[in-house]
Amino acid sequence: FEHNTTSRIVELSEGVAPRTIGEPAMYTSISLSPDGRYILASYVERPFSFLVNWTSFPRQTVVLDRSSGETLARVSFQPLRDGSDDREAESIGRSVDWRPDGAGLAYIRSTDNSEEELMLLAAPFDTAQAVRVAGTDRRVQNVVYDLEGAHAVVTHSGGNGSDLVHFDLTADDPEPTPVTTLRTGGDPLERTGSLVTGRTPAGLEHLVISSDGGTIYLEGPGYREDFRPRPFVDAVRIADGDIERIFEGSGESFDRLLVPLDPDFTRMIVSRESKTEFPDSYLYERGAGLDAMENLTGNVDPFPELTAAQRIDYAFTRRDGMEVQARISLPTDYTEGDRVPAIFWTYPREYTTPEGYERAAITSRNHNRFHHVTWLRWSDLWLSQGYAVVYPDIPIVGENYNDTYMANMIDAMYAAIRATDALELIDIERIGHGGHSYGAFATVNFLAHAPFFKAGIAGHGAYNRTLTPAGFQAERRTLWEAPHVYAAISPFFHAHQIDTPLLLYHGADDDNTGTWPVQSERLMHALTNLGKDAVLYMYPFESHTPRALENNLDMWARWLEWFDHYVKGAPDSPLATTEESSTPQ
């Protein structure tokens, strides 16, 4: 650990040899002061422990002189947090960082009388000389200063929202002025957005405030029930909290603020994209309207063959009445009227209530967003091979989610297949299922408990939940508290029911908690002993997601061969002959 994490701070200048600053250490962060003279550095140090992860190792934050590398002050110290270190933690306060106006280090200090103080520590960083800037009797969640050192906006948390309070730092004794309340939780349709801040060239966050010092700005997501969000920017007057909407995106595209070009937001750079339009940057002039925006970048889609595929968003209803969202992507060479083979690619997620799923769907689905091709979206490559790809949500709903895991899974998938079939786009006699990680766990469970699919592909999954006895995903109970649940949802214990061909893959060095390679190895041993049609490919030196080009090419060659053989040429599906509305068991 120490060998791989030790580094040096090095100053690089054009035409000048690199210059080291200070001593080697296990640095976790460095931040240059606005005047360039000092460095705020945090680093991990010995002793280590196998009982906790590295974030609980001893840590120091210090101020270094950029010129000499000398340590000028120790800002904080955290001892080893495994119960064995009797040293006391030390800190001048919370949220220590450079003030963007260059005045020094800003931090928050709690007093014995429950007051929260905004503090300033100037060079040469003698903590005895720290100055109180302002105070409040409420807990401070965050504070942001402007570039001139004249204003500070404090965030106080509480309930489903946060209160923004302004301090005029030019006053002799700054008093808090309540500005507005941010609604950041609860109903996503009522969220107000968050405070707009900027970054200095050195990366320091600063408050964006109007040129007259009287207005701050909020940027919100603008969620809508139709899954077509309309991001917005509101101007909030500090004196009375009056709000004016100065920018709002279109319902036909996804338009959002990238950066204002002046403190009064008269000109802004915004991003625009749609389901068929690659993201591009535009100049927006306040009051001119979205149609008058000027294109700035002319970005080009690098994968038009895949991204041009037709994509349809739709909903389906489970037999318990819960409406669930889905998307189907059609093959790049799709001809209207054809029914094509399809691959369902899923990743179940847990929710306490149906309303929780509805809120999550509103915040996660965007029908106006461009569908990018990335290394995280392997499944889109199927579109170039004559397959449709279906992405249905699989919500697991309940107080103890996994008590109803299998029922929720089967109900959702059955309804998804029937709804997709009703679109008259896919041939349900030729459908397969795939998934990665928790999606792989779902894949093998589908094959063990339902007759829906002709073949499956599962990668980096955990198939025996007794090997994750302290909980997994959203499961809070241990194996010893809910042994029946752990066994019931572990496809390893139902391997004898898997009659569908299954391709497994796993990185040989997967270090993700719970999905160690032994999970796939043991499942493969079980399937082999049971005489099942299954294969396992182990990829050397890969962790939880295969990265090497050679491994990805090998993996895709095997995937295509697997589904081409078992899905495209598959005989009639048992599901195709099941016309009843009840869920197959």
What confidence tens digit (pLDDT) does each residue in 335-355 have?
A: 999 999 999 999 999 999 999
**CATH for 304-577?**
3.40.50.1820
Q: Which residues pair with 61 in a beta bridge?
A: 42, 76
Residues 6+ apart with CB under 8 A from 152: 118, 133, 134, 143, 144, 145, 146, 166, 167, 169, 174, 207
Q: CB within 8 A of 160, min separation 6: which ones?
A: 183, 184, 185, 186
Is the model's pLDDT at 31 over the cut of 70?
yes
Q: Residue 83 — very low, low, confident or very high, per pLDDT cuts 50/70/90?
A: confident
What average pLDDT does the segment 233-239 reach?
A: 97
Residue 94 bridge partners (DSSP): 108
The pLDDT value recorded for residue 247 is 97
Q: What is the pLDDT of residue 494?
A: 98
Which tens digit of pLDDT belongs to each residue from 379-421?
A: 788 999 999 999 999 999 998 889 999 999 999 999 999 999 9
Tens-place pLDDT, residues 41-74: 999 999 999 888 899 999 999 999 999 999 999 9
Q: Which pLDDT band, with edges at 50, 70 and 90, does 583 fall under?
A: very low
How confident is the model at residue 376, as a pLDDT? 61
Q: What pLDDT is recorded for position 582? A: 31
Q: Which residues contact 498 (CB under 8 A, 6 or more apart)?
A: 444, 447, 448, 491, 527, 532, 534
Instruction: Render pLDDT for 530-576 as a digit per residue (tens, 0 to 9).
Output: 999 999 999 999 999 999 999 999 999 999 999 999 999 855 544 44
pLDDT of residue 581: 33
Mean pLDDT computed over every residue of the chain: 93
pLDDT at 370 > cutoff 50: yes
pLDDT digit string, tens, across residues 415-428: 999 999 999 999 99
Q: What is the pLDDT of residues 92-103, one digit of tens each?
A: 999 999 999 999
Question: Which is nearest to 205 in space by CA: 195, 215, 192, 213?
Answer: 195
Domain map of the chain by residue range?
304-577
Tell me the three state secondary structure of residue 577: helix
CA distance 258 to 272: 10
Give the count of beta carbons closer than 10 Å to the beta carbon of residue 499.
Answer: 12
pLDDT tens for each residue of 261-302? 999 999 999 999 999 999 999 999 998 999 999 999 999 999
Sign of CA dihedral 339, 340, 344, 345: negative
On the question of pLDDT at 584 being above 60, the answer is: no
For CA atoms 131, 136, 140, 146, the dihedral sign is: negative
Give the per-residue pLDDT at 572. 54
Q: Which helix (H) or strand (E) holds 434?
A: strand 426-436
pLDDT attached to residue 571: 52
pLDDT at 377: 65
- Give the pLDDT of residue 579: 38
If 0-12 CB within 10 Å is exposed, 13-18 middle and 19+ buried, where does residue 53 land?
exposed
